[in-house]
């Protein structure tokens, strides 16, 4: 059974005090996550120790880093390696978010290195893919996303791929208030699974969790997550509101 995941991406938001308050508000609600359900919090790096402490004792709640450097160590001032995050207890690292690709010019080749770095230390990459508006309007989203997957993931063995979570981000729906319809989300998630199956076989593809990452809210989470190939969400703005993200966690199927 595939993991169903509600992943919060706080991006570069909140002070330390505000982060603690948000976590306290979220944890006021009792959660009874099933064995295949997870809530993951990708928080700013300075807040990782606080988040680990707050989430302690909550089954299937995990902390993620929002990015990492591709090297294990070295003269890379200001960077943090996957090894460093793992030593703090971080089990998941977001790789290739659209903002990293756009603002920091991260290439598919670089992201392949980062995926390797995360897998090497036994953590789980949450690998992001997705198309901008111009590509969607041209009807070229399938080819665009397939190339991202092939360039950054297809060097992996089947065994390695099983430790990867994929997050599909329609970039045109991030921070814009626009959301892909549940049918659009299902269509591209099913396509992604088809691409994986062509390389690794259907049995492997059917085990990979694929999250939807475009303006997920409490109001649309149940419908989105009910789709056959949508295994949860990578949630931005709504994850900064306790009542919203609580409802999103509870919407997991």
Q: In whole angstroms, give the CA distance from residue 65 to residue 37.
A: 19
Helix (H) or strand (E) holding 65: strand 61-65
Residue 175: the pLDDT is 65
Note whether 224 and 167 are within 8 A (CB): no
Q: Tell me the pLDDT tens digit for each residue of 149-202.
A: 999 999 999 999 999 999 999 988 776 666 678 999 999 999 999 999 999 999
Q: Tell me the pLDDT tens digit for each residue of 98-112.
A: 999 999 999 999 999
Percent of the chain at pLDDT above 90?
A: 92
Mean pLDDT of 117-135: 96
CA 3 to chain centre: 12
Note whether 200 and 220 are within 8 A (CB): no
Note whether 231 and 5 are within 8 A (CB): yes
Note if 79 is an active site residue.
no
- Asked if residue 80 has pLDDT above 70, the reply is yes
Among residues 174, 185, 132, 214, the alpha carbon closest in space to that of 193 is found at 185
Averaged confidence pLDDT in the chain: 96
In this prediction the pTM is 0.97
Residue 6: the pLDDT is 98
Helix (H) or strand (E) holding 149: helix 141-153
3-state secondary structure 172-203: HHCCCCCCCCHHHHHHHHHHHHHHHHHHHCHH
Which domains are present in the chain? 4-250 (3.20.20.70)
Q: Tell me the pLDDT tens digit for each residue of 27-46.
A: 999 999 999 999 999 999 99
Mean pLDDT of 131-149: 94
From the candidates 69, 92, 97, 189, which is the catalytic residue?
A: 97
Residue 214: pLDDT band (50, 70, 90) is confident
Residue 213: pLDDT band (50, 70, 90) is very high
From the candidates 38, 99, 131, 169, which is the catalytic residue?
A: 169
Contacts of 201 (CB under 8 A, 6+ apart): 158
- DSSP symbol at 72: S
Note if 97 is an active site residue.
yes
232-235 and 4-9 as β-strands: parallel, antiparallel, unpaired?
parallel
Q: Tell me the pLDDT tens digit for each residue of 81-102.
A: 999 999 999 999 999 999 999 9
Contacts of 123 (CB under 8 A, 6+ apart): 82, 85, 86, 90, 91, 92, 93
Q: In whole angstroms, give the CA distance from residue 202 to residue 120.
A: 25
Residue bearing the bigger pLDDT, 136 or 53: 53
Q: Which residues pair with 165 in a beta bridge?
A: 126
Residue 176: the pLDDT is 67
């Amino acid at each position: 059974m595939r993991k169903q995941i509600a992943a919060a991406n706080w991006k570069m938001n909140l002070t330390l005090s505000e982060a603690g308050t948000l976590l306290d508000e979220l944890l006021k609600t009792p959660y009874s996550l099933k064995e295949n359900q997870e809530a993951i919090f990708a928080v700013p790096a300075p807040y990782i120790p606080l988040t680990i402490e707050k989430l302690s004792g909550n089954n299937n709640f995990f902390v993620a880093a929002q990015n990492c450097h591709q090297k294990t160590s070295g003269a890379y001032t200001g960077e943090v390696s996957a090894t460093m995050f793992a030593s703090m207890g971080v089990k998941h690292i977001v790789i290739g978010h659209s903002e990293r690709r756009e603002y920091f010019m991260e290439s598919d080749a670089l992201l392949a290195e980062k995926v390797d770095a995360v897998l090497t230390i036994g953590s789980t990459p949450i690998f992001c893919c997705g198309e901008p508006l111009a590509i969607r309007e041209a009807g070229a989203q399938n080819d665009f996303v397939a190339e991202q997957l092939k360039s950054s993931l297809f060097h992996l063995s089947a065994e390695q791929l099983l430790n990867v979570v994929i997050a599909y981000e329609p970039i045109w729906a991030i921070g814009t208030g626009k959301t892909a319809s549940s049918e659009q989300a299902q269509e591209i998630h099913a396509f992604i699974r088809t691409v994986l199956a062509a390389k690794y076989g259907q049995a492997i593809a059917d085990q990979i969790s694929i999250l939807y990452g475009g303006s997920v809210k409490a109001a649309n989470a149940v419908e989105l997550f009910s789709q056959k190939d949508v295994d949860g969400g990578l949630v931005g703005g709504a994850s900064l509101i306790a009542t919203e993200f609580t409802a999103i966690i509870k919407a997991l199927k």
